[in-house]
Structure 1
């Protein structure tokens, strides 16, 4: 419950991975967040990358002569190898926990609640965390794909009770080797107001729960539009407190295309200049009445990455 309302937090429902990717809903977690992708051109001003960030390394827009494969996740598309090269799977010991985005050779950006003990501000021990990179099927993961963590860092203002400032950085113990299938996502270098993104579609990916409450093995993505705070608040009054902080925004559909439990921490990205830029992190979404499951017919809340660029720059390695 959040402010007297049912809210699903996109994360911490740790579930062992099944060998089949069943039909269902695109996932997130306890305050559930969801996304779906469609790349749309924009007329907004050209983004600048962070000063020390090598933009030439970050992910370019993927093109394929093959048609997209429609997955059984509602509204989702199954990702091919290299199509979402920044997206990683964060495990706590042997259980899938959350998604995250590569932002440098040793830094993964994710939601703070993905790096904490359940419903607390207490950070998980780094030696419990594994990060799998460059994979699209969790059933095919092996030791070649994982990195151990050296530290898990929450933003100092993170509040687990209010679900605010939901952002964290996972630092790895060794460098990621970039290639065509593994690349960091670009970071915007300015703080363009989120209103410039209203009705613009971004892409989100994840291995979240489907309608049957099972984690999908195959990475899926969707396109989803950013919606205005006014529109989001009118249909999701339980988000008003979170949105009032000015560090989050809403995105999604009201037609069953959404993220769900397990999608938390994944990035909402937009294309500019043929590159993918990270703007949001899956954080929370509405919960179905009397169920520990996201409601795919309602909008989700994303942490606004642009509000934390200075903190990210200071702490990425």
Structure 2
């Protein structure tokens, strides 16, 4: 007869292996999947001292939109433009495409505490558009008297693509995409106390969402119109709270004034 202590030990070992297998990270962005080459040609990897720090969006041959906190030194004072560059035309943040240096950084003058979290990067040379490098369409203006929820009603499907952390905590070399739904101002206020007209709140299943490295990524609708710039998540990545993006239509006049 087998020694019962050995039998018990083997049972615990097998049980432990099963638990480890079931609990191990799946190596994906939080709820996302790989982007196909050329699927989001307006995407940019924003690089600080040659390393990816945030994502960005091409809005013209010489301008990239990103989150202000990605390029802020202190408040509205930007880091030196010479420390910044963008990689475009590839889904691989480490290779392919081209790297273009940044000539000027313009941070939204009201930026602070993640509100008005938007910035424009002016490139020191114009981009050559092709199937892998293109500008995204900007949304129509929203008048101050309009209800911003009419622009993106609660539950509107939107999509985000970036190079944020994977579920195993490592940086993603390949761009990832994920589906979200917009959350109305009242529901965002209810769930997170953050019902500002200048932001778009994004709902998703718990265990999914944006993470470090995804800030500045484009939030696009089903017609490939830029609706937001990802800003931050409450607490740890993939928490029960909604993710937050800066509403692009709120800043169209400022964007136009600084990209002429």
Fold shared per TM-score above 0.5: yes
Mapped partners of 2:249, 2:32: distance in 1: 26
2:48–2:85 Cα contact (<8 Å) kept:
yes
- Tell whether 2:78 aligns with 1:123: yes
The 5 Å alignment of 1:1-317 reads 72-117=28-73, 120-141=75-96, 145-159=98-112, 162-191=113-142, 193-196=147-150, 197=152, 198-237=154-193, 240=194, 243-244=195-196, 246-272=197-223, 276-288=224-236, 294-317=237-260
Unaligned runs of 5+ in 2: 1-23
Shift of 1:213: 2.3
Shift of 1:23: 5.2
Shift of 1:115: 1.1
Tell me the TM-score normalised to structure 1 length: 0.69
1:257–1:297 Cα contact (<8 Å) kept:
no
Unaligned runs of 5+ in 1: 1-21, 25-70, 289-293
Shift of 1:252: 2.4
Higher relative contact order (CA 8 A, sep 6+): 1
Mapped partners of 2:217, 2:29: distance in 1: 16
More strand by share: 2
1:267-296 residue CA offsets vs partner (Å, 9 max, x unmatched):
101133xxx1101110121113xxxxx234
Mapped partners of 2:121, 2:212: distance in 1: 20
Mapped partners of 1:172, 1:112: distance in 2: 16
1:88–1:102 Cα contact (<8 Å) kept:
yes
Mapped partners of 1:260, 1:278: distance in 2: 20
Q: Structure 1 residues 77 and 212 mapped into 2: Cα distance closer, same or farther (>3 Å)?
A: closer
1:97-154 residue CA offsets vs partner (Å, 9 max, x unmatched):
100000000000111111112x64320100000100011012324xx61000110110
Residue aligned with 1:139, SS: coil
Please name the residue that 2:9 is paired with.
Answer: none
2:208–2:238 Cα contact (<8 Å) kept:
no
